[in-house]
Chain A
Amino acid sequence: MTGVTDIPRIEMRGVKKAFGSKRVLEGVDLTVAKGESLVIIGGSGTGKSVSIKTIIGLIEPDEGDILIDGKSILGARGSSRDALLSRFGMLFQGGALFDSMPVWRNISFRLLQGRNRLSADDARDLAIEKLRRCGLGPETADLFPAELSGGMQKRVGLARAIAAEPEIMFFDEPTAGLDPIMATVINQLIRQVVSEMGATAITITHDMRSVVEIADQVAMIHQGCVQWHGPVSDVENSGEPHMDQFIHGREDGPIEAVR
């Protein structure tokens, strides 16, 4: 951990969200310190993705508050929301690359918008540099997303997430669907960019290897609430039955196998 201050960089206070009659978040309380890498684990459909989408503003919570650097961000509109979004970077589970444009435009998309936009040449050079950092060669820059393998798409998505060097990054299941070698490559890349850039990161995963390789802190969400939150070194000895069952993948325990 680096640069930890008293005021958390990200704080969720009693966040609740329901979709129709389905209650997904039932009062999530979570804090992430500046420069910290938090990994959220939990079963499918327990509200992990919804949690980070409420922080980004893609989903509006029904109750509770979300604070960045101690200031509530709910209801931020116009330029204040733009300023907030410019601090975020996100790697989506499926990559979410724009399939109508080549890889280099995907990566530098944000940098080609607005008053201080880069020229196309500079944006392309920057995209190639980010590709190199994510282990891809310059020849990838002119390909379209449909021409890339799953692992390459993840790496391009990662390059796009870090292109503008955001302070806060979100990674939604970064290793889902990848082979173990590619998963390790992606985990190391994430750990590397978070450490080098001093960014605050929240990662969602089911993959316990990712937890070990990426996390400073780990939180487990179950039935819309944080069941356990602590340092990665305590994961094995948490003493929390949900956590124990989940990390060891046991069928028996407080988490129902058939949900």
Chain B
Amino acid sequence: MPILLAFQSFLAAIGAAVLGLCATTGSLAIFTGASVMHVFRPPWYPAEIGRQLLRIGYFSLPVVGLTAFFTGAALALQIYTGGARFNAEAVVPSIVAIGMVRELGPVLGGLMVAGRVSASIAAELGTMRVTEQIDALTTLSTNPYKYLVAPRLMAATLAMPVLAFVGDIIGIMGGYVVGTARLGFNPGAYINNTWNFLTFEDISSGLVKAAVFGFIIALMGCYQGYHSGRGAQGVGRATTNAVVSASILILASNYILNEMFFAS
């Protein structure tokens, strides 16, 4: 009998986990649908959108720029030493460029912004939930989805491609600095190789990916913050969940987007 009871408990735990997952997925889907609907329906709050563009976009530039620079620099070193095994050192500019533009610029930029912005949004909305500020918004005839969620979604979706583009340029510069100062590449040849190798599709696919990542970052921050539990612990958990879920979704959606863009 104890074995049977233990087996029942085991099955119950699995069932509870599956039900919890289904409930969260449903809740997230409803939240996403409502949020997107409010992005397209007036009233809009331009001042709030501008404020979020500044917070999410402008103030993330140093983090994204530094990440991109060192990633480009490290990539150049790695490609050079790896390429040397089959006498292909000359591919450094091309591989750095395509690696940054297609993959590392948007993904690493996205992950860095997820850590910075998703956490900040979740903490802000979570605190607003705990201190009844979100309820207060409702009583003041203001829809929290329109005032809090939609501006953040719009700002992150618009700002992330710009951040990724700037990150691409700085990342390629990082490769250029290492390539010319450390690996002996000719500066003009390095730039020519980079410029001639990249196609419009390489750049645009990276920017589309960045826009999707921006949407995910803001969505997870808003969702976790909006549904934050009570007290400091609840807000802390919302912040952690926002960063973890945004990061996982960025990596998962990155694979799906790569399949869509490049599989053929």
A contact residues vs B (CB 8 Å cutoff): 53, 56-58, 82, 85-86, 88-90, 92-94, 96-99, 109-110, 113-114, 160
Q: Tell me which residues across on chain B come within 8 A of A57, comparing CB atoms.
A: 138
- In this assembly, does B140 line the interface, its C-beta being within 8 Å of a C-beta of chain A? yes
Q: Tell me which residues across on chain B come within 8 A of A110, comparing CB atoms.
A: 140-142
Q: Tell me which residues across on chain B come within 8 A of A98, comparing CB atoms.
A: 128, 133, 136-137
Q: Per DSSP, are chain A's interface residues mostly helix, strand or loop, or mixed?
A: loop
Write the chain A residue with the least CB distance to B135.
A58
Q: How far is the CA of A82 from the CA of B138 in the complex (A)?
A: 9
Partner of A96, one of B43, B132, B141, B142: B132
Additional A-B contacts beyond A92-B135, A109-B142 (6; CB < 8 A): A53-B135, A86-B141, A92-B132, A94-B132, A97-B136, A113-B43
Partner of B132, one of A93, A109, A113: A93
- In this assembly, does B180 line the interface, its C-beta being within 8 Å of a C-beta of chain A? no
- In this assembly, does B139 line the interface, its C-beta being within 8 Å of a C-beta of chain A? yes
Q: How far is the CA of A57 from the CA of B43 in the complex (A)?
A: 21
B contact residues vs A (CB 8 Å cutoff): 43, 128, 131-133, 135-142
**CB atoms of B136 and A96 under 8 A apart:** yes
In the complex, 25 of the A-B residue pairs with CB atoms within 8 angstroms, ordered by the A residue number, are A58-B138, A58-B139, A82-B141, A88-B139, A90-B136, A90-B139, A92-B132, A92-B136, A93-B132, A94-B131, A96-B131, A96-B132, A96-B133, A96-B135, A97-B133, A98-B128, A98-B133, A98-B137, A110-B140, A110-B141, A110-B142, A113-B43, A113-B140, A113-B141, A114-B43
Q: Tell me which residues across on chain B come within 8 A of A94, comparing CB atoms.
A: 131-132
Partner of B139, one of A85, A99, A113, A114: A85
Q: Tell me which residues across on chain A come within 8 A of B136, comparing CB atoms.
A: 90, 92, 96-98
**CB atoms of B138 and A109 under 8 A apart:** no
Q: Tell me which residues across on chain B come within 8 A of A96, comparing CB atoms.
A: 131-133, 135-136
Q: Tell me which residues across on chain A come within 8 A of B135, comparing CB atoms.
A: 53, 58, 92, 96
Q: Tell me which residues across on chain B come within 8 A of A58, comparing CB atoms.
A: 135, 138-139
- A89 and B139 in contact (CB under 8 A), knowing A96-B131, A96-B132, A98-B133? yes
Q: How far is the CA of A92 from the CA of B135 in the complex (A)?
A: 9
Q: Tell me which residues across on chain B come within 8 A of A92, comparing CB atoms.
A: 132, 135-136
Write the chain B residue with the least CB distance to A84.
B141
Q: Tell me the minimal C-beta distance from A145 to chain B in angstroms.
A: 10
Q: How far is the CA of A143 from the CA of B138 in the complex (A)?
A: 23
**CB atoms of B140 and A109 under 8 A apart:** yes
Q: How far is the CA of A122 from the CA of B136 in the complex (A)?
A: 22
Q: Tell me the minimal C-beta distance from A160 to chain B in angstroms.
A: 8
Q: Tell me which residues across on chain B come within 8 A of A88, comparing CB atoms.
A: 139
Q: Tell me which residues across on chain A come within 8 A of B140, comparing CB atoms.
A: 85, 109-110, 113, 160
Q: How far is the CA of A93 from the CA of B132 in the complex (A)?
A: 9
Q: Tell me the minimal C-beta distance from A162 to chain B in angstroms.
A: 12
Q: How far is the CA of A109 from the CA of B132 in the complex (A)?
A: 16
Q: How far is the CA of A160 from the CA of B141 in the complex (A)?
A: 13
Q: Tell me the minimal C-beta distance from B196 to chain A in angstroms.
A: 48
Q: How far is the CA of A138 from the CA of B86 in the complex (A)?
A: 76
Q: Tell me the minimal C-beta distance from A98 to chain B in angstroms.
A: 6
Q: Tell me the minimal C-beta distance from A170 to chain B in angstroms.
A: 8
Q: Tell me which residues across on chain B come within 8 A of A114, comparing CB atoms.
A: 43, 141
Q: How far is the CA of A231 from the CA of B131 in the complex (A)?
A: 33
Q: How far is the CA of A154 from the CA of B192 in the complex (A)?
A: 66
Q: Tell me the minimal C-beta distance from B145 to chain A in angstroms.
A: 13
Q: Tell me which residues across on chain B come within 8 A of A97, comparing CB atoms.
A: 133, 136
Write the chain A residue with the least CB distance to B47.
A112
Q: How far is the CA of A92 from the CA of B131 in the complex (A)?
A: 9
Q: Tell me the minimal C-beta distance from A82 to chain B in angstroms.
A: 6
Q: Tell me which residues across on chain A come within 8 A of B43, comparing CB atoms.
A: 113-114
Q: Tell me the minimal C-beta distance from A169 to chain B in angstroms.
A: 10
Q: Tell me which residues across on chain A come within 8 A of B141, comparing CB atoms.
A: 82, 85-86, 110, 113-114
Q: How far is the CA of A97 from the CA of B134 in the complex (A)?
A: 10
Q: Tell me the minimal C-beta distance from B132 to chain A in angstroms.
A: 4
Q: Tell me the minimal C-beta distance from A64 to chain B in angstroms.
A: 21
Q: How far is the CA of A194 from the CA of B5 in the complex (A)?
A: 61
Q: How far is the CA of A56 from the CA of B43 in the complex (A)?
A: 22
Q: How far is the CA of A93 from the CA of B43 in the complex (A)?
A: 29
Q: Tell me the minimal C-beta distance from A66 to chain B in angstroms.
A: 15
Among B43, B132, B137, B138, find the residue whose CB has the most chain A CB atoms closer than 10 A.
B132
Q: Tell me which residues across on chain B come within 8 A of A85, comparing CB atoms.
A: 138-141
Q: Tell me the minimal C-beta distance from A105 to chain B in angstroms.
A: 11
Q: Tell me which residues across on chain A come within 8 A of B142, comparing CB atoms.
A: 109-110, 113
Q: Tell me the minimal C-beta distance from A55 to chain B in angstroms.
A: 11
Write the chain B residue with the least CB distance to A163.
B140
**CB atoms of A56 and B132 under 8 A apart:** no
